């Protein structure tokens, strides 16, 4: 008990010291909803340092399902939603976030122009970090079979075959192919890498039942043959667990998870020493990486009084102040877009992804519907129950039904 | 009871039913007949950390004007019921006319989300419900014949599966049947097949879900039947024993007829419950192999773009499904009631 007390006491003392160092005073309520990975936990904790009014946070994996309902009321429950380039679209579609130009002029000194997410000339969000999926691998295993880190998916397959044939690992490839969002995202990566475009130019008509789409599915199928047979039930967490357990040697994984990948309890020394990252791979002789670029940023709700909007802006500006970048622990949590950030070893994959001109995840009003349709309809193909053409035409049909209902087609 | 006193007696219940049952159903039906307005799309320049691009976005002012004029959205009648995500009439007609006959229609059905979901839902409902009734009866008979000191303890343990929250229970089992889990590894060594994975094949996933459903709901049947056994008249059993009835004959001709009304009750409740199967599909990450109507509703609402009208339509179809499923039991109860009234 005593130990806990003194821990709390020192924690409080630390917080007091921190808030004394850079004061943040607000005069109205702040309420933030967002995802739960380490970098966003830091943003939430930093915003809570502000004094003068209550700051509450709700950081959860299910943020996407609650942020729109929580901002539609007037006054809105949440004064800010932390979102990414995919999820800002839902907030834009429902018109629940406000342009930030006036607040930036008043309180936004120190923001870099590249942090401002501008839509039709109005700043709608402030980005604070970049993210991408990229290669994560076991350098020791690849050394054992005598190959370099794969730069293409074809090389990845060849390496996987060698690892299996030499009896080192049965299922050396990891993939977050769980039916639903993850599976659809892996399709998006591979599809963009093949040079595919999701929609016919300038319209909401789907454009995935194409030669690129078929090649994409065939590559995914080949990869899945080197994955744990349960791959359709594995999301990022399970795939990471397989890597930590030493069952996986090569995988495409989120940059934001690279830092914590081998820090969990019980990871063997072999895995910790062998862990290495590189930029995303290309596929089929293309030059565009088979991955997508992401930013994470914060928004301010539309349906709240001006004083709450201002307080929210001040608290979140405090949460992304450049001084934080001097803290090594925080700096390693993400590829920050904040002024003063110096790349760390954990950021190499995402930075390489940006340098390789990876395509950002499409910020289009109807992309979410296509993503959902992909997640529901591709599992049949990967189980060998139907052809690639059939799977893609199912996706297009499912998307068309949804897009018609939502008034996009 | 006088009509007047019946009215006042029933009023609070009636109001609550109106508020919590009738109104939501009406609201869901209305929602299923309307869809959001056509979006007014414009192309704008978006800029961010990765440069500027021309992108499509929704014209908020134009859309708001449409919404203010007609807040419910546009009336689409039964269009959503007919679309591919639901009853898919056009796809079925096409399959029928394609000349592959009944085979083509069955293939198409297996490919349409609604019919896939209803197939699994019905298989699940009609295997789990009878199995759990039989299992529940067996447990009740077994526990009832135990020494009284043991009964309390056994009842407690038999009820455990029902006490565990479905989502948690299915998650625990999900990890146990994983190919690296305790049950998964055990099965691999029993069948001497190191590649055996319960999660990788649709048939085995269905089997696991069905076993889970029985495991979870049998205690409910057990506790109802056990209560029924306590009211069993002992003179009837004694008479049967004097007549030389075997234990099986006692159960068949005395115990089961006595419990029959309870069997109807358990069947009614469990048909309804199993038709709404949802948590195990989420807990077992089974959506690649098995979906249900409730799962479709959840999926429509949980995407980044919520499809309220699609979810409402599936809800109405679920209500119709439950009504059809329960109609034989309800008709029977009504007849019995009429019979006893006369």
| pLDDT tens digits for range B24-34 | 999 999 999 99
Each residue of B205-226: pLDDT tens digit? 999 999 999 999 999 999 999 9
Return d(Cα A315, Cα A106) in angstroms, integer: 14
Q: What is the percent of chain A with per-residue pLDDT over 90, rounded to a whole number?
A: 77
Specify whether the CB–CB gap between A350 and A134 falls below 8 A: yes
Find residues 241-260 of chain A whose CB sits inside 8 Å of chain B: none
Number of residues that this document lists for chain A: 409
Both tokens assigned to B97:
């006319």
ipTM rounded to 2 decimals: 0.85
Task: Write the DSSP symbol of residue A276.
Answer: E
What are the φ and ψ backbone dihedral angles of A406, each rounded to 5 degrees?
Answer: -80, 0
Residue A81, strand partner residues: A33
Return d(Cα A101, Cα A113) in angstroms, integer: 12
Assess whether B241 and B298 both reside in one domain.
yes
The answer as to whether B59 is a domain residue is no
Most confident of A346-350, B131-135, B149-153: B131-135
Task: Write the DSSP symbol of residue A72.
Answer: H
Assess whether B99 and B163 both reside in one domain.
no
The answer as to whether B37 is a domain residue is no
Residue with tokens 């409080």: A12
Assess whether B233 and B295 both reside in one domain.
yes
pLDDT at B203 over 60: yes
Give the pLDDT band (50/70/90) at residue A219. Answer: very high
pLDDT score for A12: 46
Specify whether the CB–CB gap between B31 and B309 falls below 8 A: yes
Domain stop point among B63, B86, B111: B111
Assess whether B208 and B316 both reside in one domain.
yes
Domain stop point among B56, B91, B111: B111
CATH class of domain segment(s) A12-131+294-352: alpha beta
Assess whether B82 and B134 both reside in one domain.
no
Closest by alpha carbon to A381, among B288, B257, B4?
A: B288
Assess whether B206 and B136 both reside in one domain.
yes
Return d(Cα B2, Cα A74) in angstroms, integer: 49
Each residue of A260-287: pLDDT tens digit? 888 888 899 999 999 999 999 999 999 9
Both tokens assigned to A73:
């009321």
Q: What residues in A contact B39, CB-CB < 8 Å?
A: 93, 365, 406-408
CATH topology identical between A12-131+294-352 and A133-292+356-405? yes
Task: Write the DSSP symbol of residue B342.
Answer: -
Query: Which has the minimum average pLDDT: A54-63, A83-92, A271-280, B101-110?
Result: B101-110
Read off the pTM: 0.88
Q: Which residues contact A365 (CB under 8 A, 6 or more apart)?
A: A89, A92, A93, A408, B39, B41, B56, B57, B58, B305
| DSSP-assigned letters across all residues of A166-203 | TTS-SS-EE----TTHHHHHHHHHHHHHTT--SB-TTS
Could you confirm whether domain A133-292+356-405 is CATH 3.40.190.10?
A: yes
Determine the distance in angstroms separating the CA of B80 from the nearest CA of chain A, rounded to an integer. 7
Alpha-carbon dihedral sign for residues A370, A376, A381, A383: positive
Assess whether B155 and B241 both reside in one domain.
yes
Alpha-carbon dihedral sign for residues A89, A95, A98, A101: positive
Return d(Cα B308, Cα B315) in angstroms, integer: 10
Assess whether B192 and B237 both reside in one domain.
yes
Domain stop point among B86, B111, B136: B111
Q: Taking CB atoms and an 8 Å limit, are B48 and A118 in contact across chains?
A: yes
Residue range B7-24: mean pLDDT, rounded: 93
The answer as to whether B50 is a domain residue is no
Assess whether B233 and B211 both reside in one domain.
yes
Each residue of A167-189: pLDDT tens digit? 999 999 999 999 999 999 999 99
Alpha-carbon dihedral sign for residues A78, A84, A89, A90: negative
Give the pLDDT band (50/70/90) at residue B102. Answer: confident
Query: Which has the minimum average pLDDT: A20-34, A340-354, B14-28, B264-278?
Result: A20-34
Residue among A121, A369, A376 minimizing CB distance to B299? A376
Specify whether the CB–CB gap between A124 and A118 falls below 8 A: yes
Please indicate if any CB of chain B lies within 8 Å of the CB of A74.
Answer: no
The answer as to whether B234 is a domain residue is yes
Give the pLDDT band (50/70/90) at residue A22. Answer: low
Whole-Å CA distances, A331 to A215, A256, A324, A325:
39, 12, 8, 5
Whole-Å CA distances, B310 to A12, A184, B86, B112:
49, 20, 8, 15
Q: What residues in B contact A368, CB-CB < 8 Å?
A: 303-305
Residue A97, strand partner residues: A301
pLDDT at A156 over 90: yes
Residue range B88-105: mean pLDDT, rounded: 85
Give the pLDDT band (50/70/90) at residue B133. Answer: very high
pLDDT score for B1: 61
Each residue of B281-292: pLDDT tens digit? 999 989 989 999
Give the pLDDT band (50/70/90) at residue B257. Answer: very high
Residue range A203-215: mean pLDDT, rounded: 95
β-pair type (B34-35, B41-48): unpaired
pLDDT score for B340: 67
Mean pLDDT of chain B: 90
Residue range A326-346: mean pLDDT, rounded: 90
Among A120, A182, A238, most B C-beta atoms within 10 A, so best to mutate, is: A120
Residue with tokens 């305790």: B182
Closest by alpha carbon to B128, among B202, B208, B198?
A: B208
Specify whether the CB–CB gap between B115 and B245 falls below 8 A: no
Q: Where are the beta strands (DSSP E) in A139-237?
A: 173-174
The CATH number assigned to the domain holding B165 equals 1.10.3720.10
Interface A-B, measured as beta-carbon pairs within 8 A, has a size of 166
More confident residue, B267 or B305: B267
Return d(Cα A128, Cα A110) in angstroms, integer: 12
Assess whether B177 and B238 both reside in one domain.
yes
Cis peptide before A105 (omega within 30 of 0): no
pLDDT score for B223: 94
Assess whether B223 and B104 both reside in one domain.
no
**DSSP 3-state assignment of A179?**
coil
Both tokens assigned to A359:
């395509």
Closest by alpha carbon to A239, among A226, A255, A256, A252?
A: A252
Residue with tokens 């002012």: B61
The answer as to whether B310 is a domain residue is yes
The answer as to whether B243 is a domain residue is yes
pLDDT score for A148: 94
pLDDT score for B61: 85
The answer as to whether B24 is a domain residue is no
Closest by alpha carbon to A199, among A406, A400, A407?
A: A400
Give the pLDDT band (50/70/90) at residue A13. Answer: very low
Structural domain span for residue B309 = 116-341
Mean pLDDT of chain A: 91
Please, where are the H alpha helices in B145-233? Answer: 148-163, 166-176, 182-190, 202-230
Counting the structural domains of chain B, the total is: 2
Please indicate if any CB of chain B lies within 8 Å of the CB of A60.
Answer: no
Domain ranges of chain A: 12-131+294-352, 133-292+356-405
Q: Taking CB atoms and an 8 Å limit, are B46 and A363 in contact across chains?
A: yes
Q: What residues in A contact B286, CB-CB < 8 Å?
A: 233
Return d(Cα B32, Cα A175) in angstroms, integer: 38
pLDDT score for B126: 95
**DSSP 3-state assignment of B53?**
strand
Assess whether B99 and B148 both reside in one domain.
no
Determine the distance in angstroms separating the CA of A151 from the nearest CA of chain B, rounded to an integer. 22
| DSSP-assigned letters across all residues of A90-137 | HHHHTT-B---HHHHHHH-TT--GGGEEEETTEEEEEEEEEEEEEEEE
Whole-Å CA distances, A114 to A281, A295, A339, A364:
26, 11, 10, 20
Return d(Cα A370, Cα A215) in angstroms, integer: 19
The answer as to whether B195 is a domain residue is yes
């Amino acid at each position: 008990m005593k130990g806990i007390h003194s821990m709390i006491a020192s924690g409080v003392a630390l917080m007091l010291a921190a808030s004394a160092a850079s004061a943040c005073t607000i005069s109205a309520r702040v309420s933030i909803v967002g995802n739960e990975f380490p970098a966003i936990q830091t943003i939430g904790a930093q915003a809570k340092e502000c004094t003068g009014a209550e700051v509450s946070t709700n950081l959860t994996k299910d943020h996407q399902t609650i942020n729109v309902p929580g901002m539609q009321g007037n006054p809105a429950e949440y004064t800010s939603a932390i979102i990414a380039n995919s999820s800002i679209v839902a907030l834009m579609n429902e018109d629940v976030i406000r342009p930030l130009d006036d607040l930036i002029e008043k309180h936004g000194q120190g923001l870099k122009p590249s942090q401002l997410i501008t839509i039709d000339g109005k700043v709608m969000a402030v980005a604070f970090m970049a993210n991408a999926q990229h290669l994560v691998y076991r350098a020791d295993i690849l050394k054992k079979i005598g190959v370099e880190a794969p730069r293409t998916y074809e090389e990845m397959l060849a390496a996987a075959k060698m690892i299996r044939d030499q009896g080192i690992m049965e299922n050396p490839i990891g993939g977050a192919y769980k039916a639903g969002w993850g599976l659809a995202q892996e399709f998006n990566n591979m599809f963009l890498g093949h040079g595919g475009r999701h929609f016919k130019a300038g319209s909401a008509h789907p454009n995935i039942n194409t030669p690129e789409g078929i090649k994409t599915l065939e590559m995914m199928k080949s990869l899945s043959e080197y994955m744990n047979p349960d791959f359709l039930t594995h999301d990022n967490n399970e795939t990471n667990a397989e890597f930590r357990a030493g069952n996986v040697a090569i995988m495409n994984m989120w940059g934001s998870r690279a830092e914590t990948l081998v820090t969990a309890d019980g990871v063997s020394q072999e895995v910790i020493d062998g862990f290495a990252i590189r930029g995303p791979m290309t596929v089929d002789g293309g030059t565009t990486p088979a991955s997508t670029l992401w930013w994470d940023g914060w928004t301010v709700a539309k349906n709240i009084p001006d004083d709450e909007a201002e307080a929210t802006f001040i608290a979140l500006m405090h949460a992304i102040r450049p001084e934080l970048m001097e803290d090594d622990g925080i700096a390693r949590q993400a590829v920050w877009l904040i002024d003063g950030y110096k790349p760390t070893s954990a950021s190499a994959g995402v930075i390489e992804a940006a340098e390789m001109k990876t395509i950002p995840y499409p910020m289009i009003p109807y992309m979410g519907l296509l993503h959902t349709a992909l997640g529901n309809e591709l599992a049949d193909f990967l189980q060998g129950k139907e052809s690639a053409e059939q799977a893609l035409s199912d996706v297009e049909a499912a998307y068309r039904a949804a897009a018609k209902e939502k008034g996009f087609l | 009871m006088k009509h007047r006193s019946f009215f006042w007696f029933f009023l609070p219940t009636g109001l609550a039913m109106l508020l919590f049952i009738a109104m939501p159903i009406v609201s869901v039906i209305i929602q299923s007949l309307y869809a959001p307005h056509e979006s007014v799309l414009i192309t704008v320049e978006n800029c961010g950390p990765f440069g500027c691009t021309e992108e499509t976005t929704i014209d908020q002012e134009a859309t708001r004007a449409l919404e203010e004029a007609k807040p419910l959205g546009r009336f689409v009648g039964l269009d959503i019921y007919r679309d591919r995500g639901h009853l898919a009439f056009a796809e079925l007609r096409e399959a029928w006319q394609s000349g592959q006959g009944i085979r083509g229609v069955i293939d198409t059905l297996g490919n349409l989300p609604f019919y896939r979901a209803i197939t699994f839902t019905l298989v699940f409902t009609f295997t789990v419900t009878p199995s759990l009734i039989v299992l529940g009866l067996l447990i009740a008979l077994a526990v009832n014949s135990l020494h009284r000191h043991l009964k309390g303890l056994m009842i407690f343990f038999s009820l455990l599966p029902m006490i565990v929250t479905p989502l948690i229970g299915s998650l625990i089992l999900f990890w146990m049947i994983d190919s690296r889990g305790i049950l998964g590894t055990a099965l691999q060594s029993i069948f001497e097949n190191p590649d055996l994975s319960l999660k990788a094949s649709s048939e085995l996933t269905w089997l696991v879900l069905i076993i889970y459903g029985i495991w979870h709901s049998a205690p409910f049947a057990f506790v109802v039947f056990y209560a029924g056994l306590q009211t069993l008249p002992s003179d009837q059993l004694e008479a049967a024993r004097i007549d030389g009835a075997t234990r099986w004959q006692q159960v068949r001709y005395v115990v089961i007829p006595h419990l029959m009304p309870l069997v109807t009750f358990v069947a009614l409740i469990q048909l309804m419950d199993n038709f709404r199967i949802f948590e195990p599909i989420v807990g077992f990450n089974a959506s690649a192999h098995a979906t249900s109507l409730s799962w479709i509703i959840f999926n429509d609402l949980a995407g980044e773009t919520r499809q309220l009208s699609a979810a409402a339509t599936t809800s109405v179809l679920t209500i119709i499904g439950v009504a059809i499923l329960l109609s034989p039991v309800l008709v029977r109860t009504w007849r019995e009631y009429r019979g006893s009234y006369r």
